[in-house]
Chains A and B, each alone.
Chain A
C-alpha cells in the first residue's frame, strides 16, 4: 500500500471510532416495558408474628434475671413467613410466601414484584397473612381501580396505617 494513504486511513480510523462511540453511547433504544400497559408493583416489607407467642414472666422469674436484663415477658426471636396474594379481576396473579429476613429469621419479610397489566377498570384484591391462621387472611383490601397506560400502579402495605394501600 502507498504510504500516502496513511493520513486518509488515520482520518478513517478516528471517524470510525467516533461514530462507534457516538452511536453506541445512546443507541439502539431499549424497550424496557410496554408503554401501552400499566406496570403494577407489589412491594411491602412487614414483620410477621413470632413463631411462638411471647410468655409473660412471673415476678420470681423476673427477679432471677440480672438487673439489666429484667423484662416483663420473654419472646422467641423467630418469625413466621409472610403470605401475600394479589388478585386482579378474580385471577390470582401473585401468591408469594416470603421468609423472614435475618440470620435468626427474626427480621421483616419482604415482597417486591412487578408485572404488566392491560389498562382500564379492574378489581384488585390484595391479601396478607402474618400469623398461623389458616383458611383466612389477616389483612385484605379490595378496590376497583382505573389503570392508566404507561404509568405505575403500586400496591403497598403498612400495618400501622391499617394495611394495604393502592396508588
Chain B
C-alpha cells in the first residue's frame, strides 16, 4: 500500500509541475479536481434537462428522437448531446484523479475518512447514471449494454427468472426495462446531488466551483470538441441481430469486456472486494491517535474566530456554560477535529506578547501548545558571520521536511499546519529581534493538507482577516512560500533568495 501511494505521489508531483507552470499555482487544475467534479455534474444536468425536452421516453421512438436531435437539430440539441456526453466523461476523469490524488496525498486517513467514505457510493451513482444514459439511446450500443448488464445482474442469486430474457429477441422486447432506465437516469442524479452535498458536509467553505477562467476555458474546450467531433449513435437496436462491434465509451464501459473473460459472479466479487477495500482505506493501517483541540474557557471570550476558521467543521458555538458575561463558547467535536491547530492560529489570545507564563489561549492543541511555540521562537538562533537570522515557520506537510533545524542562521519551527501560526508571532520574532526575517512555508496554494490553513494565513498576513498582522511589521522582512510537498529544492532556492534579500537590507 505504501509503495503504491508513494509511486502515485511521485507521479502526481512530477506531472503537476507542468500544470503549475502552465496555469500558475492558483489555477493549477489538479488543485480544483473536486470543484471540477461539481462543475461537470452541473453541465451534464443542464444539458440533460434540455435533451429531455426532445427525448421520446418510449422504447419504440427513443432512437428516432435522439437521431432527430443529433442530425436535424445539430446546432442546439446536437451540441447539447455532445456536451452531455463529454462533460459526463470529464466527470469520470476528474473524479478518478481526485480519488487517486487524495489517496496519494494521504488526505483520506483517520478523521479525514468522512469525505472518502461518502465518495465511494458516489462512484456507483456516477456509473449508474452513465450506463443508464447510454441505454436510453436504444441503439446497438444500448442493446449490447442491455444484454451484458442483465446477464451480469443474472449472476446474482436474486432473480427467479433471468432478466436477460427481456432482451432475448425482438419478440421478447418490452418497454418495462426501458422505462426503469429512464427513471434511473433522471432520479439517480438527484440522489447523487444529495450525496455530493453530504460528501462535503465536514468541509467548511467547501470549494464547489472552479475559478472562472478555468471554468470558461474548460467549457469552451468541450463545446469546441462537440462541434469538431459530435457524439453520434450506432445503428438502431435490433434484438435479432448481434451487436458484434461496438464503440464503447471507455470512461463508463471499460469494465464490460471483463464480463466476456471472467464469469459475472466473479466480477461481482471483484467489485464487492474493491468497494470494501476502498471504504477501509482510511484505516489501513489505523492512524495513531492525536489529541484534539481543547478550549480554555477562562481565556475565551466567545469571539467565534476559531469557529469561522476551522476547515473541518469541528467547532460549534454553544451557549456559555461558565457564567462569564459572554454569549457563546466554542465546543470541539472530537470526531471531526484533525488537530491542525488552525483554531489556535485564529484565537486572538494566542499572542506571545502576553505576560502570562505559560500562555494559555482560548483554544489550542494540548500536544503543541502556543507556550511551547513562544519558547521555540525565543531560543537564540545561531548567527553565522554575516548571515541573517531567519525563523522559518513550516507546516509538517509541506516541503520543509528536509531542512536542518539549525543551519546557517536558520531555525525551522514545524507546525501541524502553517495556519496554526498566529500573525502576532511574526511581529514578536521581528520586534523583539529574535530574527532578522521570518519565512512562512506552507502547502501549495489551494492545496493545503488541512484545506484552508494557507489561505487563512495569506489573508491574515495581508491584513485582510482576523487576527491580522500588525501594520508596524516590516513586510520586507517577511516571506511566504507556498510549495507542494517534495519541492525542497525550490524551497531552498526561496530561502537563499530571502537570505540575500535580508543581507541587502542589512547593508542599506
Contact = CB atoms under 8 A, between A and B. Distances in A.
Interface of A: 1, 5-6, 9-10, 12-15, 17-18, 20-22, 24-27, 29-35, 39, 41, 43, 45, 101-102, 107-108, 110, 112, 114, 150-152, 154, 156, 167
Interface stretch (B116-124, B187-195, B222-230, B361-369): B222-230
Nearest to B141: A26
A75 to B, nearest CB: 19
Given A14-B221, A156-B168, A45 B242 contact: no
B409 to A, nearest CB: 32
B249 interface: yes
Given A9-B21, A18-B221, A154 B245 contact: no
B182 interface: no
B160 A102 contact: yes
Interface residues of B, number: 51
B151 interface: yes
Given A101-B160, A107-B160, A108-B160, A43 B247 contact: no
14 contacts: A6-B22, A6-B23, A18-B224, A21-B86, A21-B90, A24-B89, A24-B251, A26-B247, A27-B247, A29-B245, A32-B244, A112-B164, A114-B151, A152-B239
Interface of B: 18-19, 21-24, 29, 85-86, 89-90, 93, 144, 148, 151, 154, 157, 159-162, 164-165, 168-169, 171, 217-218, 221-222, 224-225, 228-229, 231, 239-251, 256-257, 260
A39 B240 CA distance: 10
Given A25-B250, A34-B244, A154-B168, 15 more contacts: A6-B24, A9-B21, A18-B225, A22-B225, A24-B89, A24-B250, A26-B248, A29-B248, A35-B242, A41-B169, A102-B160, A110-B154, A110-B161, A152-B239, A152-B240
Contacts of B240: 151-152
B2 to A, nearest CB: 30
Contacts of B29: 13
A1 B165 contact: no
B244 A35 contact: yes
| Of A20, A21, A25, most B-chain CB atoms within 10 Å | A25
A100 B362 CA distance: 69
A18 B162 CA distance: 40
A27 B253 CA distance: 11
Contact of B244 (A1, A20, A31, A167): A31
B248 A30 contact: yes
B247 A32 contact: no
Contacts of B164: 43, 112
Given A31-B244, A33-B242, A110-B161, A9 B260 contact: no
A5 B18 CA distance: 11
B23 A10 contact: yes
A107 B158 CA distance: 11
Contacts of B151: 112, 114
B242 A152 contact: yes
Contacts of B85: 25
B50 to A, nearest CB: 19
Contacts of B244: 31-35, 150
B246 A29 contact: yes
Given A151-B240, A151-B242, A154-B168, A10 B86 contact: no
B282 to A, nearest CB: 30
B246 A167 contact: no
| Of A21, A41, A114, most B-chain CB atoms within 10 Å | A21
A30 B160 contact: no
Nearest to B217: A14
Contact of B169 (A1, A25, A152): A152
Contacts of B224: 18
Contact of A13 (B22, B157, B171): B22
A31 B22 contact: no
| Of B86, B169, B244, most A-chain CB atoms within 10 Å | B244
Contacts of B229: 22
Nearest to A12: B22
Contact of A21 (B89, B157, B247): B89
Contacts of A34: 244
A30 B254 CA distance: 10
B220 to A, nearest CB: 8
A1 to B, nearest CB: 6
A122 to B, nearest CB: 17
A65 B317 CA distance: 67
Contact of B160 (A24, A29, A41, A45): A45
Given A27-B247, A43-B168, A112 B23 contact: no
A13 B21 CA distance: 12
Given A41-B168, A152-B169, A167-B169, A108 B161 contact: yes
| Of A6, A29, A32, most B-chain CB atoms within 10 Å | A32
Contacts of B221: 14-15, 17-18
| Of A29, A30, A43, A101, most B-chain CB atoms within 10 Å | A30
Contacts of A32: 144, 148, 242-246, 260
Contact of A30 (B157, B225, B245): B245
Contacts of A25: 85-86, 89, 231, 249-251
Given A21-B225, A110-B162, A156-B168, A39 B251 contact: no
A125 B221 CA distance: 58
